[in-house]
Amino acid sequence: MAGSGQSTATLRLKVGNLDIAHPITVPNAAVPATEVLPALQGLVNAVVGATEADLTISCRKGCAACCRHLVPISRTEGEALLALVDAMPKERRKAVRARFASAEAQITAAGLAEPAGRGDQEMSLAYFALRLACPFLEDESCSIHPDRPLVCREHLVTSPAALCSGLAQEGVTPAPVPKLSLAAQRLQDEDGSWFALAMLMAWNRKPRPPARRRSGTEWVQRFLKNLSR
């Protein structure tokens, strides 16, 4: 269905052992990839919700061990989060940017600003050992919960929440949520490149090619193609 410069369709996906039918609405015009991110967030929410239906999830508001993990985000999510920070009231924006600056300094001092040949697991464990809170964490809760990264939506556990603080993550049982975030990482960058959320401002200082513009339908088709990989 089309109208008002947008198109709505129901995506029917088989993801793992889940059958998902979810309506999405995207712009008809050629737009940056960030404009279709809300549609992908809704799709990930639907997949997470279907996964949760038969599980007992132990994650609760205020249980923020996961907010001290390395959170890998793509260019698309990075650009959306930069816009989110820029739109904040002046004083809040200043406080958030200060937390990013502090996080960047600690990550750099620990030698984790670049992977430097480390594997993903080694990098993640070294980062978690810093116990560095996400710059968006306030009062042990996510201050941008509706706009949080896709990988954060997918990270749920069924084991006791107290285990999540352990450095080795012994006994932690992740919920078997299909990782649609991996397909989103390739939306703009074919190599699926990512960077740590806490390094958002450092990433923004690096040069990058101008953002491509495609119709919303084309962006969704690229996402589905990546998902089929």
In the block, tokens 């697991």 appear at 121
Q: What is the pLDDT of residues 13-54, one digit of tens each?
A: 888 888 999 999 999 999 999 999 999 999 999 999 999 998
pLDDT tens digits, 171-226: 999 999 999 999 999 999 888 889 999 999 999 999 999 999 999 999 999 999 99
**pLDDT score, position 153:** 96
How many separate domains does the chain show?
1
14/11 Cα distance (integer angstroms) = 10
Beta-bridge mates of residue 19: 14
Cβ neighbours of residue 167 under 8 Å, at least 6 residues apart? 125, 128, 129
Contact 184, 193 (CB under 8 A): no
Q: Report yes or no: 40 and 223 within 8 Å, Cβ to Cβ.
A: yes
Residue 176: beta bridge partners?
none
pLDDT at 60: 87
- In this structure, are strands 6-15 and 141-142 parallel, antiparallel, or unpaired? unpaired
Residues of the domain holding 21: 2-228
Beta carbons of 68 and 134 less than 8 angstroms apart: yes
pTM of whole model > 0.85?
A: yes
As to burial, measured by CB atoms within 10 angstroms (0-12 exposed, 13-18 middle, 19+ buried), residue 184 is: buried
pLDDT at 102 over 80: yes
Residue 33 tokens, joined: 């990839």
Per residue in 114-170, pLDDT (tens digit) is 866 677 788 999 999 999 999 999 999 999 999 999 999 999 999 998 899 998 889
The arithmetic mean of pLDDT across residues 63-88, rounded, is 96
The alpha carbon of residue 64 and the mean position of all alpha carbons in its chain are separated, in whole angstroms, by 16
- Point out which residues pair with 2 in neighbouring strands: 7
Per-position DSSP letters for 25-83, written without gaps between them: EEESSEE-GGGGHHHHHHHHHHHHHHHHTTS-----TT--GGGGS--EE-HHHHHHHHH
pLDDT of residue 116: 64
Q: How far is CA 172 from CA 36, 60, 112, 148, 178, in A?
A: 33, 15, 24, 22, 17
Q: In this predicted structure, what is the pLDDT of residue 227?
A: 87
